[in-house]
Amino acid sequence: MTALGTSSSASTPRTVGAAARPSHRRGTPGSRGREALTGYLFIAPAVVLFAVMGLYIVGYGFLLGFARWNGFAPHWDWVGLDNYADLLWRDPVYAPRVHEAARHTLYVMIAVPVLTVAVSFPLAVALARVKRAQAVLRSVYFLPYVTSGIAVFYAWQYILQPDGAVNYLLGLLGLGSLQEPQGFLGNPATALPTMIVVTVWTEVPVAMLMYLTGLQTIDRGLIEAAELDGAGWWRTQVSVVWPLLRPITAIVVLLTLRSALHGFQTFLIMTNGGPGTHTDVLGLEAYRLAFLSKFAPTLGLAGALGWMLFAVAIVLALINLRALRSRV
Amino acid sequence: MTTHPAPAPSGAPGTPGAPATKPAATRRIGARVLIGVLLAGYALVSLYPFLWMVSGAFKDQFEVVRGGHLIPEHPTLHILTDTWNRLHFLDYFLNSLKVTALTVVLTLLIYAAAGYAFAVLRFPGRAWLYRLFVALLFVPGVTVLLPIILLEHNLGILGTHYGLVLPFVNGTAPLSVMLLTGAFTAVPKELRDSARVDGAGEPHIFARVYLPLARPALITVALLTAIPTWNEYLLTKVSLNDESAYTLSLGLQQLSAQNVPQYNSLMAGALIVVIPVILLFLALQRYFVNGLVGAVKG
């Protein structure tokens, strides 16, 4: 859901600002007070829900990060920053697991944005040139987003099996040497790259549509001018179109970074971290600490890890927004 | 395939400097073939899991474990009907429908009102509140999962469908607020002013003037809410205990939790889950694309 959200976040301050500026209507203090009251009444339901399901929840998670609790004991034991220290270096059980999960998460955070841009930009450029089949192809490319959920991940699991459809296709194409007799998720060497491919597959639709939309907003005159100056097609794409679409690339990178950092549903359903711990990621680790540790007092650890993920997300968003602003 | 003149790969006429080593016609055909291969290739990548989902759903027990051909040798509807009947899929289906419908309706009611306030009404703290809603976008799901469960346990709504709907609605807040505020901002101010001159109150202007004009944005938000809600798995999994409350995602998960996953019935179940949401998307995709265009353009 949120995937599409940031698409406009870069422009939102402008939206509100633009609405605010011409609004200095003359009004008596009374009518202005009445308008403010109406305003509060209109946003009251959203704010109440936000206060409970947003602010309270996030604050609760933050506090929990400083406590030791198993979910059943009547009260929390305050342990200060112990949970953070245990996760980052101190605990002999959790720290190595977090390190390995962090390494995998980092691979995913590098590979997924790069591959998503590398696939969706050329795809959008190609699609923009097609007239008749465009609507149909766009729908086809969008299926992975529309169906993104447990059903589709089971389908992936099915085709990645040892005697599954991916090996079958490789055989048909004469690429038998690339087949995986253990299945792509069963071999420790291919499991994480395979999960990255599946993640990219779910991220491409939105990125592609955003590029396609961006391409349609580019002034035709600019491209014609470049071609009149003797730039070939490739040259035009690389030196004119790509730089013009940089704001969209920034948004795509932000969205894919976010899902690479937070997303673990695909991993939970398809590999559950396996084989061994070869596809363990931080989100999955936090989920296990929160829900799968029976009576062990790990809920505080889960809160701390969740908050670290939140902090990284905020830092990434700030860096990305700054980069975006400096370019435009 | 392409009729658009602008980015034609042939050196445009009157460009003597272009390295036109090959005849322009050959190059144009070459570019077309390249584009065709790229587009068709990714269409296959995009569809491949679905093709096998359909294929698997129609294979019998023996064929499905043999792997091999996409087209089943002895296609059977039996697996599909059997899966539907055996696993209370109708109940799960109705539960999914209930959760999704409630989430969509509440989202539209709550955030249309909020978007109207953000777009046209002046009140102190407006810009600040707006930013707070958008910032919610960066909170990771896994960070809030546990606190939501603990809070709902205390409120006594854990395990009910309302316990799912409320966090879902709040989760749509950033996107819904942004899209609807944008749509209401685009409505000409004069319409509101003239309605006020005619003596209409704020609720009347909202319901009779702004809501009808924002219909495309409302449909976009409904679609963007319905799709992920229908597919939701994580919060549903950790919230629901009672099988009678299960949604389709959990029903499907139950199928795979059997000792030996039967991929034909798993694919049949998967097909039942994805078909409604694909149909919904195909019916309303015009709004989806336009809504995204609006979001990108700001």
B172 and B154 in a common domain = yes
Q: B129, A47: Cβ pair inside 8 Å? A: yes
Q: B181, A15: Cβ pair inside 8 Å? A: yes
Minimum Cα–Cα distance from A142: chain B residue: B46
B257 and B137 in a common domain = yes
Cα A44 to Cα A36: distance, rounded to the nearest angstrom: 12
Contacts of A17 in chain B (CB under 8 A): 127
Task: Kindly report, residue by residue over B273-285, the tens digit of the pLDDT.
Answer: 999 999 999 988 8
Which residues have a Cβ under 8 Å from the Cβ of A144 and sit 6 or more positions away?
A152, A201, A202, A204, A205, B46
Check if the beta carbon of residue B296 is closer than 8 Å to that of residue A211.
no
Q: Name the domain boundary from B81, B110, B140.
A: B81
Query: Which one has a higher pLDDT value, B68 or A35?
Result: A35
B238 and B133 in a common domain = yes
Query: Which one has a higher pLDDT value, A64 or B78?
Result: A64
B176 and B45 in a common domain = no
pLDDT at A28: 67
Q: B256, A146: Cβ pair inside 8 Å? A: no
Instruction: Return the CATH fold of A81-326.
Output: MetI-like fold (1.10.3720)
Residue B5 lies in a domain: no
Query: So where are chain A's domains?
Result: 81-326
Residue B7 lies in a domain: no
Say what the pTM is: 0.86
Minimum Cα–Cα distance from B13: chain A residue: A228
pLDDT at B206: 92
Q: A165, B52: Cβ pair inside 8 Å? A: yes
Q: From the CA of A129, how many Å to the nearest CA of chain B?
A: 6
Minimum Cα–Cα distance from B134: chain A residue: A9
Contacts of A14 in chain B (CB under 8 A): 298
Contacts of B152 in chain A (CB under 8 A): none
Check if the beta carbon of residue A241 is closer than 8 Å to that of residue A223.
yes
| Structure tokens that stand for B8 in this block | 């034609």
B100 and B222 in a common domain = yes
B93 and B76 in a common domain = no
The closest of A23, A47, A7, A10 to B129, measured between CA atoms, is: A47
- DSSP code for A72: S
328 residues of chain A, pLDDT tens digit each: 333 333 333 333 344 444 444 444 445 667 788 888 989 999 999 999 999 988 899 898 899 999 888 877 778 888 888 889 888 988 888 899 999 999 999 999 999 999 999 999 999 999 988 888 888 898 899 999 999 889 999 999 999 988 888 888 888 888 878 888 888 898 899 999 999 999 999 999 989 988 988 888 888 888 888 878 877 778 888 888 888 888 888 888 988 998 898 889 999 999 988 898 899 999 999 999 999 877 778 889 999 999 999 999 888 888 877 776 665 4
Q: B31, A233: Cβ pair inside 8 Å? A: yes
The CATH number linked to B235 is: 1.10.3720.10
Minimum Cα–Cα distance from A241: chain B residue: B7
pLDDT at A106: 95
Which residues have a Cβ under 8 Å from the Cβ of A76 and sit 6 or more positions away?
A64, A67, A68, A69, A300
Cα A264 to Cα B141: distance, rounded to the nearest angstrom: 10
Contacts of B206 in chain A (CB under 8 A): 42
**Most confident of the following: A124-128, B99-103, B205-209, B234-238:** B99-103
Question: In chain B, how many domains are there?
Answer: 2
Residue B60 lies in a domain: yes
B104 and B73 in a common domain = no
B185 and B67 in a common domain = no
B145 and B248 in a common domain = yes
B221 and B179 in a common domain = yes
pLDDT at B85: 82
Note down the domain range covering B73. Answer: 32-81
Q: A131, B4: Cβ pair inside 8 Å? A: yes
| Structure tokens that stand for B137 in this block | 């976008």
Cα B266 to Cα A154: distance, rounded to the nearest angstrom: 8
B154 and B247 in a common domain = yes
Contacts of A1 in chain B (CB under 8 A): 171-172, 175, 224-225, 227-229
B223 and B111 in a common domain = yes
| Structure tokens that stand for B233 in this block | 């798995």
